[in-house]
Structures are given as structure tokens and as C-alpha cells.
Chains A and B, each alone.
Chain A
Amino acid sequence: MRNLITLAISLGLVTKAMAQDHSHHMSSPAAAGDTAYVAENIPLPVGLKGEVGAIDFLPDGRLVATFHRGELYFYTPKTKEWKLFAEGIHDALGLMAISPKEVLVLQRAELTRIRDTDGDGKADDFSTVTDDFGISGNYHEFNFGPVKDKEGNIYIALNTASNGAGIRPEVRGEYNALGRPGRMYSCVPYRGWVMKLTKDGKLHPYALGFRSPNTLAFDAAGRLLVNDNQGDWLGTSKMYVVKPGKFYGHPSSLVWKKDFPKIDPLTLTVETLDSMRTRESVAFPHGYIANSVTQPIVDRTQGKFGPFINQTFVGDMDHRYLMRVLLEEVGGETQGACLPVHIQGMRVGNNRFAFAPDGSLWVGQTDRGWVGSEGIQRIHWNGKTPLDIMDFKLTKTGFDLTFTKPLDPKIAREISQYAVKRFYYEYHKQYGSKKFDETPVAIKQVNQSADGKKISIELEDLQPGFIYEFRLGDLKAQTGEPLLSRWVCYTLNHLK
């Protein structure tokens, strides 16, 4: 039945994309039938509720996974054996596998170091690493992370609460009524913040203005990436590059900022809030591209997972594909593009990712009362580089698209193979946003580089503050191989 649901939902999404498509170019985000990346299902222990909380790998190749009912298992891919390591954990949505005897787990109430101290293969010691943040008991106060920086500091992100439910008679941490109004709210300390745990065990507020920051990663360039979910104040799902002290736009968390006046942040005008916020690096257009973005994960496999070395992949709850982001520094800030990565056989509910030592990418899936699925899948690359977009960069007059292989010039140089439009999402209190100023952008010129891999597109008009959406046609490699990813969206905050 579950497979049927997944199939049905994905069918629905494809049909939806077709209905909304503005051009004749494509009916799905990627060419169907390709097998560059294939997902296989990993069987779970019989009787285990397969709502995955988090996954990670031990250096010895064993998978570590937490599940919704408090279980923490080790899985040996070679022997397909599951072994229970710990029980009783509350909703662990993040973990860091340290050794076969030690796992860091972020659960509802705390970051916990779970250890097997007597060597019997089962955890017997649960030490609180930090619990220095509030919980109102609202179901939406999820905790995300931990991720570690080069210096060994640990970062976690704290979800705001939802007015889909109230708070408990007893809360942990100071209650602040000024943070209580709003659709998503922050009435206990540091909800809507990214926190930094220094080596001395102290938890420091680091950056704020997040709604549902699921979840964090350091990318290959050392940037701290945080994905936030569409909703109030987020017209669409976003990826932020997070820097200390910065405010990213969801207002409720401002009540915990040291120098912030004692007011309800929602009484500030949108213009004021807008002037305070740092914009996203990537916007993931809602509905047909992403609905609920999840974990960013960097391909550090040095080619074992295909040609996209050191690029960042991103998941989504509602879609059966992965995405990649291609970031660049423009005007001193990070901005860039997102595009799909077609995965044969992938389910929905793709919330958690971890690379195995063999270079395969494992996916933990969940539904939690939203659209999703349950279980674990393993994605492997078939060893053949597909024709796909390798890089996407802003130029002074348009964009440079670099492909993995030389393109057939007869097709690639035709302007009709490219459709470009632009639009923006409003920053406002309402839930989500429609597209504003949705306008086709005329292409002046298309040029191909001497090696055939780079297509430079010159546009009639290039303006900051817009998402530029590209739909690509039937581009082919010189060998005749079709292009895999057919759309790419660039968030243009700054011109070059």
C-alpha cells in the first residue's frame, strides 16, 4: 500500500508540473528512464515503525539510524544485520556517529552522548552534552543538527512552535509572552535560532530568524548552510548561508536577541523587518520544485558518487528526486542555483542523508503526519557520467551553463532550446507567497565554448531581486545522449 501511495503521489506531482509548465519544453524535471542514480530499498527489522529520525555512518561502514519510537540501531550493509544499540530516545532528528561505542544524538530535550561503557554492544551511559534551551512542549519544536565545524564547535538549530497547537502547562526555560503571537512562535529561549556549542560545553546563541531550519551542513567551502521551510514569512523554502549574529527573516526569535527592545516583533513593519534580514542564498520555488526542503549534504566522496564532487545535495519531503545547489560569491555574498537530480526508484519523505564509506548515499525517510514515506533507501551511481548541468554562473549579461560533456552544437546553439522567466516571492507575514511579476525574459544570444561544454546565454534584461528560472529543451551530448536535468533556478540577489 505504501508503495502505491508513493507512486500515486509522484504521479500527481508530475502531472501537476505539466499543468503549470509555461513552455513546451518539458513535462518532468528530468529525463525519465535514466539509471545514472538508482535507489534500492533497505529492509528494516520486522515490526519496526520505519519513521527515520536521523542517519549517519561509522568509519567501519556500519549505518547508525534513529527511529521515531526511540530506537537507535546499527546496520551492517554486508551482512544485512540490524543490531539494537539504544532505546527510549525521544524523537532524535539528528545524530553524529563517533565510534562503535559512542554516538551523539539530538533528541527533544537535549543533545546526548550515548555510550557503551562495558563493551557489551549496547548503550549504558546517556550523558547530557547540553540542554540549555527551552521547550514549550509544542510538537513543532523540533531540534536539528548536530554539525561540527573545523575547530570542533557543534551547531544545532531549534524549530519554532506552531499555532496548530498550544504549549504545555509546564515549560522548560523562561517563558516570554512577547514571542507567543504569530503562526510560528518562539515563547521559550532560542526557538528559531542556530546555537553554537563551544568545547567548554557552553551553548551560545549564534544566528536567528529561522522558522523550521531542517537542517544544517557545512559545505565544501566551509560555509554553514541552513535550509528553512516555506510558511509564514517564507514565501518559499530557502537555503541560507549562516553567519554569526545575523537575522534571517522569521521575526518571533527576535525576542531572545540581547539588544532587542521588549516588544512583540510582529508589531514591527514589514519594511523594518525586511531591512534587518539577510536574504537567502537559494530560493527553492514552491510546489513544482520543492515543498519542504530537508537536509543539505556535501558529496565528499571524491568521485565515488559521480561527477558532482564537493557539490551540495538537498532533499525534499514531497518530491522523488534530490536537488543540487551551485553556489558562488557575488558582491560579497553567497547566491546561486538549484536543480534536480533524477533518482530512479526514489520514494518521497527524503528527510535525512548520509554517505557510506563506499560512496553510496543513504536516505532516511519519514512522514510524521505530513506528506512522506517511511524507510531507508540506498542510492548508488552506475559509474557513468550523465549529461547534466555541472555549473551555473551569473555573468554580467546573463548566465553561463557548464555541462558535464560537450553538447551537440546544432541543438545547443538554438535560442528556442532555452526558455527563461523571472519572478519573486513576497516577504510577508502570510503563509507562503504567490509568484509576483512573473515575466518571460527574452534571450539575446546563445554561444557555445570551444570545448563544447559551456553555453553562455545573454539575456535582454537582468535584474537583482528575482529568481531566474531556466527550462532547457532537448539538448544532447555530441554522442547523442539526452540531457538529464531540464530546469535550473537561480536566486539573483546581486549583479556581477
Chain B
Amino acid sequence: MPLERLKLILVLLAMLSTSSLTWAQSDTTLVIKAIAGLQYDPPRIQIKPNTRVTIVLENYDDMAHNLVITKAGMRQTVVEQALKVPSEKNYVPETPLVIAATKIVAPGNSEKISFTVGEGIYSYVCTYPGHGFVMYGALYAMNAKLPPLELDPHVAQIVKDKVAGQRVGPHAFPLEYPLLYRTWISGASPAAIVVSFDGNSSYCWDAGQCRLRYAWTGGFVDNSEQWYSKGDKFTKVVGEVYWKEDSLNYPIRVGTPEHTPVVKFLGYKLKNRLPTFRYLVDGIEIHETLRTLPGEIGIMRDFQVVKNPAQKKIYYKTGTYSHTTYQPKFLKADPVNRETYVMNPGSTRFSVTIKPNS
């Protein structure tokens, strides 16, 4: 599907997920999405009793699903009966326990069903073989206050686990800094590396392009959606980005500042958990270590030129990101080119400190 549409859907999904229940009128249309991870979104819905309900099942997953309405207590029975029903009958058993049911809805398709509910708790469940034991939600046709989502016996365990998982740490060990993850995050290629010095000062370094992409302060990342299910969603930046590299600027130049070099990522080494990245820039091996600035917002990029057999001139070209001060070390301003520094002759290292203007 087009990316714009995907974005819109993501926003809608986020809106739906934040409110744990949705109110509706006595004659109502509800949209229920089948989403990745054998789930419905929303995981439960509250409506008024004695309502004529129309449900549109939209399948956003890459597997086929259906949606069957039963009384909440009859869900498991219906799921077990459905296992004996062939696909031609959409895995829906012929029983009065089934109040309404869609056909099997292929990925990307949708289907509408209408039915009337009295007062009580109903389930919506996918009876596709293997799905019904995990993929279901609760339809409350009552005015009473609902239990918390994670304690609701009619909500799928997989949804409750997700809610519970957001409250504990992500690993079997406490987080230790500096901390590094390779992940997918916006504003970088799919070979991104995110690092936080201390849980507050953090940056995104792109191993696909061998350059620092952006830096932020006020937190690190939230991986939960990237880790969740099939990994379709990005890791999110927590905090505020104070600097971004120009999308087209590659800062290190070799021989002449005009030429954009060819780069190759070689890896990284950790020293007391702090990474030093190794890469080739037009064949010259560079080791880059990034450090946080104590007591202030900013980042220092420390470059070591490890192999430069032809003793080529090395330049550092800053981008044009506004409100930023660049402090060079072992570099001189290039007399010819704007925003360009040249490495001191004979030096094997140089550094650039990037600070937001206060």
C-alpha cells in the first residue's frame, strides 16, 4: 500500500490503541481491524445494550481472517467446533451459538456484517484454524464500568501481555550505559545504530552511510513497537533532536571537498561499552568515537585517521543545519570553500564538537 496511506493507518491505529474502549450509539457501525500478531484492533469495545451493530472487518494482516460473534462464554466452544468446518464454509460452524460471522477476508480486503445484541458480553473471534485460541476481542453491550484491560478475562492474553510488557524493562538485565542497538529508525537507512551515553544524551549513527545522522537529548529510544510482532514499525526517539546532518551532506571529504566519497562500514569496537566505529572513506580507514559533553547539550566526534598511505588531504564539511556551532580541533578553516575545514598536515586525528546555539 502507498506509504502515505500506511502513515494514516498507523496514526489511526495509535489513536485507537490509546483509548482502551470505544463508545457507540444504539445503532452503530464499528470498524475492527485484523492486525499483525493474530490480533484485532481495538481489543475490546463497549456499546449500549440493545443495539443494532454493523461491524466492518478490515484485514491489515498478511494472513486471512474472519470475525465471528458469539456470547463471551461460548467463544471456546465455537472455536473448537470450527476446527471441523471446511474452508468453503469459512470455518464457521452451523450453530445458534454463532450470532453473526463474516466470510474469510483475504489480506487487504474488508467485509461488513450486521446483527443485534441484547445486554451482555460478547466475543469477536477469528475461527480460522489455529487463530481462535489467541485472536479474539470483547464486545460489551452494557453500561457498567469495565475492568482494567490487563485484568479483563474476555480480552486476548496476547494483548494483555503487550500492556504488561510496557511496564517492565525490555531485557533480563538492567540497562547499562553507554547502550547500543542496531535497529530501524526514521531519518536513517535500515542499517542504523542508536547509542545513548547515559539514557539522556543519544545519537543515531548510520552504518549504511557511515555518518552521524542526528543527536538528541532527554532520553534514548522506545524499541517496543519495532520489537513487537513482525517488526514493521520503527524504533522511536525519546527526547528532543537538537542536531541533524543535512540529508545530502557527507562530512568527510578526501583529496578535494567537492567530491562525495565512497564509504564502507567495517564494524565497531566497544571500550567500557562506548563504541568506536571503523569505516573506509575512499579507501582511507577512519575510526570515529563520539562522546557526550559533560554538563551541556552537544556531542564531540573524534576521528582517528588510521590508514592514509597516499597522504591525501582530508576535509570536514559541516552541513547547514541552523542554530548549531561547530568547534573544530586539528582542523583549519578552508580558505576557498565555505563550511569546510581541512585537517592539519601531519596530524592523524581531528575532532568536531557539535553544539546547539543557546
Spell out A's residues near B (CB within 8 Å).
1, 4-5, 8-9, 12-13, 15-16, 19, 44-49, 68-71, 82, 84, 87-91, 107-110, 112-113, 117, 123-128, 131, 135-137, 139-140, 162-172, 318, 368-371
Contacts and interface: CB of A to CB of B under 8 A. Distances in A.
A371 B38 CA distance: 8
B263 to A, nearest CB: 11
B191 A12 contact: no
A47 B86 CA distance: 40
B267 A112 contact: yes
Given A12-B129, A16-B129, A371-B130, A109 B191 contact: yes
B284 interface: no
B63 interface: yes
A286 to B, nearest CB: 12
Interface stretch (B45-53, B227-235, B312-320): B227-235
Given A5-B134, A12-B133, A127-B267, A69 B190 contact: no
B269 A172 contact: no
Given A9-B130, A47-B169, A166-B3, A136 B180 contact: no
Given A48-B172, A108-B190, A172-B191, A131 B265 contact: yes
A155 B171 CA distance: 31
Contacts, number: 159
Contacts of B84: 15-16, 19
A9 B170 contact: no
Contact of A139 (B165, B189, B232, B269): B232
> Which 6 A-B pairs have CB atoms at the shortest separation, nearest pair first?
A164-B62, A369-B229, A109-B191, A47-B172, A127-B267, A90-B182
A1 B182 contact: no
A424 to B, nearest CB: 19
Contacts of A125: 267-270
Contact of B232 (A48, A89, A165): A165
B313 to A, nearest CB: 27
20 contacts: A4-B133, A15-B80, A19-B86, A48-B172, A49-B165, A70-B181, A88-B182, A109-B182, A126-B268, A128-B207, A131-B207, A131-B208, A131-B265, A139-B231, A162-B62, A170-B190, A172-B189, A172-B208, A368-B229, A369-B229
Given A47-B168, A47-B169, A124 B270 contact: yes
B266 interface: yes
A128 B193 CA distance: 13
Most buried by B among A15, A90, A110, A127: A90
B282 interface: no
Nearest to A86: B270
B189 A166 contact: no
